Structure 1
Amino acid sequence: MPLHPRKDDHGKPVHLHNPSTVTAMGTWHDDEAIATCLPDGELPPILNGIALQPWLNPPHTREDWNQDTGINLHFPEASMVALDKNIAAGAVIIEPDGRVWVVHPSNQFGGYQATFPKGRQDPGLSMQATAIKECWEEAGLRIRIHSVLGDFKRTATMTRLYLAERVGGTPATMGWESQAVSLSPLEALPGLLNGAADKPVLTALQKTLSALELSGEPIGGYRPIVQCSQRGQD
Protein backbone atom coordinates (compact mmCIF):
# COMPACT_ATOMS: atom_id res chain seq x y z
CA MET A 1 0.00 0.00 0.00
CA PRO A 2 1.68 3.26 -1.11
CA LEU A 3 2.25 6.20 1.19
CA HIS A 4 1.50 9.84 0.45
CA PRO A 5 4.83 11.73 0.41
CA ARG A 6 3.39 14.22 2.92
CA LYS A 7 2.38 13.29 6.47
CA ASP A 8 -0.91 14.41 7.98
CA ASP A 9 -1.38 17.28 10.45
CA HIS A 10 -0.42 14.97 13.33
CA GLY A 11 2.81 13.83 11.67
CA LYS A 12 1.42 10.41 10.81
CA PRO A 13 1.86 8.67 7.45
CA VAL A 14 -1.09 8.61 5.06
CA HIS A 15 -1.65 5.19 3.45
CA LEU A 16 -3.41 5.37 0.10
CA HIS A 17 -5.78 2.41 -0.15
CA ASN A 18 -6.81 3.00 -3.77
CA PRO A 19 -4.18 5.16 -5.45
CA SER A 20 -5.17 7.38 -8.35
CA THR A 21 -3.71 6.91 -11.83
CA VAL A 22 -1.56 9.46 -13.59
CA THR A 23 -2.40 10.41 -17.18
CA ALA A 24 -0.03 10.71 -20.13
CA MET A 25 1.98 13.92 -20.42
CA GLY A 26 0.14 14.91 -23.59
CA THR A 27 -3.17 15.28 -21.74
CA TRP A 28 -1.91 18.50 -20.13
CA HIS A 29 -1.83 20.23 -23.52
CA ASP A 30 -5.11 18.75 -24.83
CA ASP A 31 -8.01 20.99 -23.78
CA GLU A 32 -10.47 18.16 -24.43
CA ALA A 33 -8.68 15.68 -22.14
CA ILE A 34 -8.68 15.09 -18.40
CA ALA A 35 -5.12 15.47 -17.08
CA THR A 36 -4.22 13.99 -13.68
CA CYS A 37 -1.16 14.56 -11.52
CA LEU A 38 -0.03 12.55 -8.48
CA PRO A 39 1.94 13.98 -5.51
CA ASP A 40 5.46 14.86 -6.64
CA GLY A 41 4.48 13.74 -10.13
CA GLU A 42 6.02 14.84 -13.42
CA LEU A 43 4.43 17.80 -15.19
CA PRO A 44 5.24 20.03 -18.15
CA PRO A 45 7.22 23.12 -17.09
CA ILE A 46 4.62 25.51 -18.52
CA LEU A 47 0.86 25.20 -19.01
CA ASN A 48 -1.15 27.79 -20.94
CA GLY A 49 1.75 30.21 -20.69
CA ILE A 50 1.99 29.98 -16.89
CA ALA A 51 4.86 28.13 -15.23
CA LEU A 52 4.10 25.03 -13.17
CA GLN A 53 6.52 25.67 -10.32
CA PRO A 54 6.22 25.38 -6.53
CA TRP A 55 5.03 28.44 -4.64
CA LEU A 56 8.29 29.07 -2.81
CA ASN A 57 7.18 31.69 -0.30
CA PRO A 58 3.53 31.16 0.58
CA PRO A 59 2.10 33.13 3.51
CA HIS A 60 2.71 31.65 6.96
CA THR A 61 0.68 33.94 9.22
CA ARG A 62 -2.95 34.96 9.38
CA GLU A 63 -1.99 38.53 8.55
CA ASP A 64 -0.01 37.45 5.49
CA TRP A 65 -2.82 35.29 4.16
CA ASN A 66 -5.27 38.18 4.61
CA GLN A 67 -3.01 40.42 2.52
CA ASP A 68 -2.23 37.95 -0.26
CA THR A 69 -2.15 39.50 -3.72
CA GLY A 70 -4.70 36.96 -4.96
CA ILE A 71 -7.45 38.65 -2.94
CA ASN A 72 -9.86 40.74 -5.03
CA LEU A 73 -11.19 43.87 -3.32
CA HIS A 74 -12.95 45.18 -6.41
CA PHE A 75 -16.33 43.47 -6.20
CA PRO A 76 -19.08 43.62 -3.57
CA GLU A 77 -19.15 40.64 -1.24
CA ALA A 78 -22.07 39.90 1.09
CA SER A 79 -21.66 38.45 4.55
CA MET A 80 -22.05 34.70 4.91
CA VAL A 81 -25.27 33.44 6.51
CA ALA A 82 -24.39 30.01 7.91
CA LEU A 83 -27.02 29.43 10.63
CA ASP A 84 -26.00 26.20 12.42
CA LYS A 85 -23.23 25.22 10.00
CA ASN A 86 -19.51 25.90 9.94
CA ILE A 87 -18.26 28.45 7.41
CA ALA A 88 -15.95 27.29 4.63
CA ALA A 89 -14.52 28.67 1.41
CA GLY A 90 -12.84 27.42 -1.73
CA ALA A 91 -12.55 28.09 -5.44
CA VAL A 92 -13.41 26.84 -8.89
CA ILE A 93 -10.15 27.49 -10.75
CA ILE A 94 -10.44 27.95 -14.51
CA GLU A 95 -7.52 27.62 -16.90
CA PRO A 96 -7.12 29.76 -20.05
CA ASP A 97 -8.00 26.66 -22.10
CA GLY A 98 -11.38 26.45 -20.34
CA ARG A 99 -10.63 23.43 -18.17
CA VAL A 100 -11.31 23.33 -14.42
CA TRP A 101 -9.12 22.08 -11.54
CA VAL A 102 -10.46 19.46 -9.12
CA VAL A 103 -8.86 17.54 -6.27
CA HIS A 104 -9.18 13.85 -5.41
CA PRO A 105 -9.35 13.60 -1.59
CA SER A 106 -7.04 10.99 -0.11
CA ASN A 107 -8.91 7.71 0.37
CA GLN A 108 -12.07 9.41 -0.89
CA PHE A 109 -12.45 11.34 2.36
CA GLY A 110 -16.05 12.40 2.88
CA GLY A 111 -17.09 10.04 0.09
CA TYR A 112 -15.69 12.30 -2.63
CA GLN A 113 -13.89 10.81 -5.60
CA ALA A 114 -13.28 14.35 -6.79
CA THR A 115 -14.37 17.80 -5.66
CA PHE A 116 -13.31 21.45 -5.70
CA PRO A 117 -10.57 22.60 -3.29
CA LYS A 118 -12.14 24.12 -0.17
CA GLY A 119 -11.98 24.03 3.61
CA ARG A 120 -13.30 25.49 6.84
CA GLN A 121 -12.48 29.05 7.76
CA ASP A 122 -9.77 29.46 10.39
CA PRO A 123 -10.30 32.13 13.09
CA GLY A 124 -9.17 35.53 11.83
CA LEU A 125 -8.94 34.55 8.17
CA SER A 126 -11.10 36.31 5.61
CA MET A 127 -13.25 34.25 3.27
CA GLN A 128 -11.03 34.98 0.28
CA ALA A 129 -7.86 34.25 2.26
CA THR A 130 -9.40 30.93 3.32
CA ALA A 131 -10.09 30.01 -0.30
CA ILE A 132 -6.56 30.92 -1.40
CA LYS A 133 -5.02 28.95 1.47
CA GLU A 134 -7.15 25.86 0.81
CA CYS A 135 -6.36 25.85 -2.91
CA TRP A 136 -2.67 25.92 -2.12
CA GLU A 137 -2.89 23.21 0.57
CA GLU A 138 -5.14 20.83 -1.36
CA ALA A 139 -4.13 21.50 -4.97
CA GLY A 140 -0.69 23.10 -4.72
CA LEU A 141 -1.95 26.07 -6.75
CA ARG A 142 -1.60 29.79 -6.24
CA ILE A 143 -4.74 31.58 -7.35
CA ARG A 144 -6.18 35.03 -8.02
CA ILE A 145 -9.87 35.46 -7.21
CA HIS A 146 -12.20 36.79 -9.89
CA SER A 147 -15.67 36.84 -8.31
CA VAL A 148 -18.11 34.94 -6.10
CA LEU A 149 -19.68 31.89 -7.73
CA GLY A 150 -22.11 31.32 -4.85
CA ASP A 151 -22.76 30.08 -1.33
CA PHE A 152 -23.56 26.37 -1.15
CA LYS A 153 -25.06 24.32 1.66
CA ARG A 154 -23.07 21.16 2.24
CA THR A 155 -23.29 18.35 4.80
CA ALA A 156 -21.47 20.15 7.62
CA THR A 157 -20.68 23.57 6.19
CA MET A 158 -21.99 26.57 4.33
CA THR A 159 -19.31 27.06 1.69
CA ARG A 160 -18.58 30.11 -0.42
CA LEU A 161 -16.93 29.21 -3.70
CA TYR A 162 -15.16 31.78 -5.83
CA LEU A 163 -14.26 31.78 -9.49
CA ALA A 164 -10.50 32.05 -9.76
CA GLU A 165 -7.52 31.72 -12.08
CA ARG A 166 -4.18 30.01 -11.51
CA VAL A 167 -1.24 32.40 -11.28
CA GLY A 168 1.40 30.00 -9.96
CA GLY A 169 2.15 26.84 -8.05
CA THR A 170 2.02 23.24 -9.21
CA PRO A 171 -0.32 20.37 -8.34
CA ALA A 172 2.74 18.17 -7.76
CA THR A 173 3.08 19.87 -4.34
CA MET A 174 -0.47 18.99 -3.23
CA GLY A 175 -0.81 18.37 0.51
CA TRP A 176 -1.67 15.09 2.20
CA GLU A 177 -5.41 15.69 1.96
CA SER A 178 -5.29 15.09 -1.81
CA GLN A 179 -4.01 11.95 -3.51
CA ALA A 180 -4.34 13.48 -6.98
CA VAL A 181 -5.27 16.69 -8.76
CA SER A 182 -6.98 16.78 -12.15
CA LEU A 183 -7.62 19.36 -14.84
CA SER A 184 -10.94 18.61 -16.49
CA PRO A 185 -12.98 19.93 -19.42
CA LEU A 186 -16.27 21.42 -18.25
CA GLU A 187 -18.28 18.74 -20.03
CA ALA A 188 -16.38 15.98 -18.19
CA LEU A 189 -17.02 17.36 -14.70
CA PRO A 190 -20.38 15.57 -14.18
CA GLY A 191 -18.55 12.26 -14.46
CA LEU A 192 -15.89 13.27 -11.95
CA LEU A 193 -17.96 15.03 -9.30
CA ASN A 194 -19.71 12.16 -7.56
CA GLY A 195 -20.84 14.12 -4.48
CA ALA A 196 -24.44 15.36 -4.41
CA ALA A 197 -23.28 18.62 -2.81
CA ASP A 198 -21.26 19.46 -5.92
CA LYS A 199 -24.18 19.19 -8.33
CA PRO A 200 -25.54 22.68 -7.48
CA VAL A 201 -22.01 24.04 -7.84
CA LEU A 202 -21.74 22.60 -11.34
CA THR A 203 -25.14 24.06 -12.28
CA ALA A 204 -24.08 27.50 -11.00
CA LEU A 205 -20.78 27.23 -12.86
CA GLN A 206 -22.46 26.39 -16.15
CA LYS A 207 -24.89 29.31 -15.79
CA THR A 208 -22.14 31.73 -14.83
CA LEU A 209 -19.89 30.75 -17.73
CA SER A 210 -22.83 31.08 -20.13
CA ALA A 211 -23.42 34.61 -18.82
CA LEU A 212 -19.73 35.44 -19.26
CA GLU A 213 -19.91 34.21 -22.83
CA LEU A 214 -22.70 36.70 -23.51
CA SER A 215 -20.88 39.56 -21.81
CA GLY A 216 -17.44 38.73 -23.15
CA GLU A 217 -15.94 39.17 -19.68
CA PRO A 218 -12.80 37.05 -19.22
CA ILE A 219 -11.59 35.17 -16.15
CA GLY A 220 -7.88 35.76 -16.27
CA GLY A 221 -6.67 34.23 -19.53
CA TYR A 222 -9.96 32.38 -20.15
CA ARG A 223 -12.15 34.18 -22.69
CA PRO A 224 -15.35 32.20 -23.31
CA ILE A 225 -16.35 33.82 -26.62
CA VAL A 226 -12.95 33.16 -28.21
CA GLN A 227 -12.96 29.62 -26.86
CA CYS A 228 -16.42 28.84 -28.27
CA SER A 229 -15.76 30.38 -31.66
CA GLN A 230 -12.54 28.41 -32.05
CA ARG A 231 -14.24 25.11 -31.26
CA GLY A 232 -17.07 25.93 -33.62
CA GLN A 233 -14.57 26.06 -36.50
CA ASP A 234 -13.03 22.66 -35.75
Structure 2
Amino acid sequence: MAPNGRPSGRVGGPPYDRGVPQTRPHRVLLVDDDPLVRSGLRLILTSDGDIDVVGEAGDGDEAVAATQAHGPDVVLMDLRMPRMDGIAATGAVRALPGPPHVIALTTWDVDDAVLRSIQAGAVGFLLKSASPAEIKGAVWAVMAGDAVLSPRSTRQVLDHLARDAGDVERRAAAESMAVLSPREREVLVGVGRGHTNAEIGRRLFVSEATVKTQVAAALAKLGLRNRVEAAVLAERAGLLR
Protein backbone atom coordinates (compact mmCIF):
# COMPACT_ATOMS: atom_id res chain seq x y z
CA MET A 1 0.00 0.00 0.00
CA ALA A 2 1.14 3.55 -0.65
CA PRO A 3 1.60 5.95 2.30
CA ASN A 4 -1.82 7.49 1.62
CA GLY A 5 -3.51 4.11 1.98
CA ARG A 6 -4.35 3.51 -1.68
CA PRO A 7 -3.07 0.48 -3.58
CA SER A 8 0.21 0.93 -5.36
CA GLY A 9 2.27 -1.25 -7.63
CA ARG A 10 4.43 -1.45 -10.72
CA VAL A 11 3.77 -4.21 -13.21
CA GLY A 12 5.80 -7.22 -12.18
CA GLY A 13 7.82 -5.19 -9.68
CA PRO A 14 7.82 -3.90 -6.12
CA PRO A 15 5.20 -1.43 -4.83
CA TYR A 16 5.44 1.95 -6.50
CA ASP A 17 6.02 4.87 -4.12
CA ARG A 18 4.01 7.86 -5.27
CA GLY A 19 5.78 10.36 -3.09
CA VAL A 20 4.09 13.74 -2.75
CA PRO A 21 0.52 13.80 -4.17
CA GLN A 22 0.09 15.78 -7.39
CA THR A 23 -2.02 18.93 -7.57
CA ARG A 24 -4.72 17.38 -9.79
CA PRO A 25 -5.84 13.85 -10.70
CA HIS A 26 -4.01 12.07 -13.50
CA ARG A 27 -6.26 12.17 -16.57
CA VAL A 28 -6.75 8.83 -18.35
CA LEU A 29 -8.38 7.96 -21.68
CA LEU A 30 -9.59 4.37 -22.23
CA VAL A 31 -9.39 2.92 -25.76
CA ASP A 32 -10.84 -0.57 -26.33
CA ASP A 33 -13.44 -1.96 -28.71
CA ASP A 34 -15.04 -4.00 -25.89
CA PRO A 35 -17.40 -1.84 -23.76
CA LEU A 36 -17.13 -4.35 -20.90
CA VAL A 37 -13.35 -3.97 -20.80
CA ARG A 38 -13.68 -0.18 -20.75
CA SER A 39 -16.28 -0.41 -18.00
CA GLY A 40 -14.02 -2.63 -15.89
CA LEU A 41 -11.03 -0.35 -16.37
CA ARG A 42 -13.10 2.70 -15.51
CA LEU A 43 -14.33 1.05 -12.31
CA ILE A 44 -10.78 0.13 -11.29
CA LEU A 45 -9.22 3.49 -12.08
CA THR A 46 -11.93 5.70 -10.61
CA SER A 47 -11.62 3.84 -7.30
CA ASP A 48 -8.40 5.84 -6.95
CA GLY A 49 -9.30 9.43 -6.08
CA ASP A 50 -6.11 10.66 -7.76
CA ILE A 51 -6.98 9.19 -11.19
CA ASP A 52 -9.72 10.65 -13.39
CA VAL A 53 -11.06 8.79 -16.46
CA VAL A 54 -11.79 11.67 -18.82
CA GLY A 55 -13.07 9.76 -21.83
CA GLU A 56 -13.42 6.54 -23.80
CA ALA A 57 -12.97 5.44 -27.42
CA GLY A 58 -13.95 2.26 -29.24
CA ASP A 59 -11.24 2.21 -31.92
CA GLY A 60 -8.09 3.94 -33.10
CA ASP A 61 -9.88 6.57 -35.16
CA GLU A 62 -11.91 7.63 -32.14
CA ALA A 63 -8.78 7.54 -29.97
CA VAL A 64 -7.08 10.36 -31.85
CA ALA A 65 -10.17 12.60 -31.73
CA ALA A 66 -10.78 11.77 -28.05
CA THR A 67 -7.18 12.60 -27.18
CA GLN A 68 -7.53 16.00 -28.84
CA ALA A 69 -10.87 16.61 -27.13
CA HIS A 70 -9.98 15.52 -23.59
CA GLY A 71 -6.24 16.14 -23.25
CA PRO A 72 -5.42 13.02 -21.21
CA ASP A 73 -2.10 12.44 -19.46
CA VAL A 74 -2.23 8.69 -20.14
CA VAL A 75 -3.99 6.59 -22.80
CA LEU A 76 -4.65 2.90 -22.15
CA MET A 77 -4.65 1.57 -25.71
CA ASP A 78 -6.02 -1.80 -26.84
CA LEU A 79 -3.86 -3.12 -29.68
CA ARG A 80 -6.39 -5.14 -31.65
CA MET A 81 -9.34 -3.02 -32.76
CA PRO A 82 -11.36 -2.49 -35.96
CA ARG A 83 -10.59 0.32 -38.41
CA MET A 84 -7.38 1.89 -37.07
CA ASP A 85 -5.68 -0.61 -34.76
CA GLY A 86 -3.88 0.27 -31.54
CA ILE A 87 -0.43 0.32 -33.13
CA ALA A 88 -1.37 2.89 -35.75
CA ALA A 89 -3.37 4.82 -33.17
CA THR A 90 -0.40 4.90 -30.81
CA GLY A 91 1.74 6.46 -33.53
CA ALA A 92 -0.99 8.97 -34.39
CA VAL A 93 -1.57 9.95 -30.76
CA ARG A 94 2.14 10.30 -30.07
CA ALA A 95 2.47 12.55 -33.13
CA LEU A 96 0.07 15.09 -31.62
CA PRO A 97 1.44 18.24 -29.96
CA GLY A 98 2.16 17.63 -26.28
CA PRO A 99 1.18 13.96 -26.56
CA PRO A 100 0.05 11.77 -23.65
CA HIS A 101 1.83 8.65 -22.50
CA VAL A 102 0.44 5.51 -24.15
CA ILE A 103 0.25 2.14 -22.39
CA ALA A 104 -0.57 -0.79 -24.68
CA LEU A 105 -3.27 -3.22 -23.52
CA THR A 106 -2.91 -6.83 -24.60
CA THR A 107 -4.15 -10.31 -23.76
CA TRP A 108 -0.67 -11.76 -24.38
CA ASP A 109 2.71 -11.18 -22.78
CA VAL A 110 5.23 -10.07 -25.42
CA ASP A 111 4.28 -10.55 -29.06
CA ASP A 112 4.87 -8.73 -32.32
CA ALA A 113 1.97 -6.32 -31.80
CA VAL A 114 3.37 -5.25 -28.42
CA LEU A 115 6.82 -4.74 -29.87
CA ARG A 116 5.46 -2.66 -32.74
CA SER A 117 3.39 -0.54 -30.33
CA ILE A 118 6.54 0.23 -28.34
CA GLN A 119 8.33 1.18 -31.55
CA ALA A 120 5.34 3.44 -32.30
CA GLY A 121 5.85 5.27 -29.01
CA ALA A 122 4.10 3.31 -26.24
CA VAL A 123 5.94 3.49 -22.91
CA GLY A 124 5.13 -0.12 -22.09
CA PHE A 125 2.27 -2.54 -21.86
CA LEU A 126 -0.30 -4.02 -19.49
CA LEU A 127 -1.90 -7.42 -19.67
CA LYS A 128 -5.69 -7.18 -19.52
CA SER A 129 -5.47 -9.76 -16.75
CA ALA A 130 -3.38 -7.38 -14.59
CA SER A 131 -4.59 -6.79 -11.06
CA PRO A 132 -6.33 -3.52 -10.09
CA ALA A 133 -3.22 -2.49 -8.14
CA GLU A 134 -1.03 -3.11 -11.20
CA ILE A 135 -3.34 -1.13 -13.48
CA LYS A 136 -3.46 1.87 -11.16
CA GLY A 137 0.24 1.55 -10.41
CA ALA A 138 1.00 1.65 -14.14
CA VAL A 139 -0.65 5.07 -14.47
CA TRP A 140 1.35 6.37 -11.53
CA ALA A 141 4.56 4.83 -12.89
CA VAL A 142 4.41 6.45 -16.33
CA MET A 143 3.51 9.81 -14.81
CA ALA A 144 6.69 9.52 -12.73
CA GLY A 145 8.74 8.75 -15.84
CA ASP A 146 9.00 4.97 -15.48
CA ALA A 147 8.27 2.49 -18.26
CA VAL A 148 5.51 -0.04 -17.60
CA LEU A 149 7.63 -3.15 -17.99
CA SER A 150 8.64 -5.74 -15.44
CA PRO A 151 12.30 -6.85 -15.47
CA ARG A 152 11.21 -10.18 -17.03
CA SER A 153 9.17 -8.49 -19.74
CA THR A 154 11.92 -5.98 -20.41
CA ARG A 155 14.29 -8.87 -21.02
CA GLN A 156 11.84 -10.39 -23.53
CA VAL A 157 11.39 -7.07 -25.33
CA LEU A 158 15.14 -6.54 -25.58
CA ASP A 159 15.71 -10.07 -26.80
CA HIS A 160 13.12 -9.56 -29.55
CA LEU A 161 14.27 -6.12 -30.64
CA ALA A 162 18.00 -6.67 -30.33
CA ARG A 163 18.09 -10.11 -31.93
CA ASP A 164 17.90 -8.76 -35.47
CA ALA A 165 20.41 -5.97 -34.96
CA GLY A 166 23.42 -6.26 -37.28
CA ASP A 167 27.03 -5.48 -36.54
CA VAL A 168 26.69 -1.98 -37.97
CA GLU A 169 23.79 -1.19 -35.62
CA ARG A 170 25.70 -2.60 -32.65
CA ARG A 171 28.78 -0.49 -33.44
CA ALA A 172 26.64 2.61 -33.94
CA ALA A 173 24.90 1.99 -30.59
CA ALA A 174 28.22 1.58 -28.79
CA GLU A 175 29.62 4.74 -30.39
CA SER A 176 26.52 6.74 -29.46
CA MET A 177 27.21 6.08 -25.78
CA ALA A 178 30.28 8.32 -25.96
CA VAL A 179 28.05 11.38 -25.45
CA LEU A 180 26.92 10.13 -22.03
CA SER A 181 28.63 10.70 -18.71
CA PRO A 182 29.68 7.62 -16.71
CA ARG A 183 26.77 8.14 -14.32
CA GLU A 184 24.29 8.49 -17.19
CA ARG A 185 25.53 5.17 -18.55
CA GLU A 186 25.03 3.58 -15.13
CA VAL A 187 21.50 4.93 -15.02
CA LEU A 188 20.85 3.60 -18.52
CA VAL A 189 21.91 0.13 -17.39
CA GLY A 190 19.27 0.32 -14.65
CA VAL A 191 16.66 1.40 -17.18
CA GLY A 192 17.64 -1.49 -19.42
CA ARG A 193 17.16 -3.93 -16.57
CA GLY A 194 13.62 -2.74 -15.98
CA HIS A 195 14.29 -0.87 -12.75
CA THR A 196 12.28 2.14 -11.62
CA ASN A 197 13.91 5.49 -10.89
CA ALA A 198 13.60 4.74 -7.17
CA GLU A 199 15.32 1.37 -7.56
CA ILE A 200 18.12 2.87 -9.64
CA GLY A 201 18.58 5.60 -7.07
CA ARG A 202 18.91 3.09 -4.24
CA ARG A 203 21.51 1.10 -6.18
CA LEU A 204 23.55 4.20 -7.06
CA PHE A 205 22.98 5.98 -3.72
CA VAL A 206 21.39 9.04 -5.29
CA SER A 207 17.91 10.52 -5.06
CA GLU A 208 15.04 9.47 -7.29
CA ALA A 209 14.84 13.05 -8.59
CA THR A 210 18.50 12.89 -9.60
CA VAL A 211 17.89 9.66 -11.50
CA LYS A 212 14.90 11.18 -13.27
CA THR A 213 17.04 14.16 -14.34
CA GLN A 214 19.82 11.88 -15.58
CA VAL A 215 17.40 9.67 -17.53
CA ALA A 216 15.93 12.77 -19.20
CA ALA A 217 19.42 14.06 -20.02
CA ALA A 218 20.47 10.71 -21.50
CA LEU A 219 17.33 10.51 -23.64
CA ALA A 220 17.91 14.05 -24.92
CA LYS A 221 21.58 13.39 -25.74
CA LEU A 222 20.74 10.16 -27.56
CA GLY A 223 17.69 11.56 -29.37
CA LEU A 224 15.37 8.92 -27.90
CA ARG A 225 11.67 9.20 -27.08
CA ASN A 226 11.30 6.88 -24.11
CA ARG A 227 12.91 4.47 -21.68
CA VAL A 228 12.15 1.42 -23.78
CA GLU A 229 14.15 2.83 -26.71
CA ALA A 230 16.93 3.62 -24.25
CA ALA A 231 16.88 0.03 -22.98
CA VAL A 232 17.12 -1.32 -26.52
CA LEU A 233 20.05 0.97 -27.32
CA ALA A 234 21.81 -0.03 -24.09
CA GLU A 235 21.40 -3.70 -25.03
CA ARG A 236 22.72 -3.17 -28.54
CA ALA A 237 25.68 -1.22 -27.17
CA GLY A 238 26.56 -4.14 -24.89
CA LEU A 239 25.94 -2.30 -21.62
CA LEU A 240 23.63 -4.99 -20.23
CA ARG A 241 25.90 -7.97 -20.82
> Which TM-score applies when normalising by structure 2?
0.28
User: Could you say which structure has the higher strand fraction?
Assistant: 1
Higher relative CO (Cα under 8 Å, sequence separation at least 6) belongs to 1
User: Could you say which structure has the higher helix fraction?
Assistant: 2
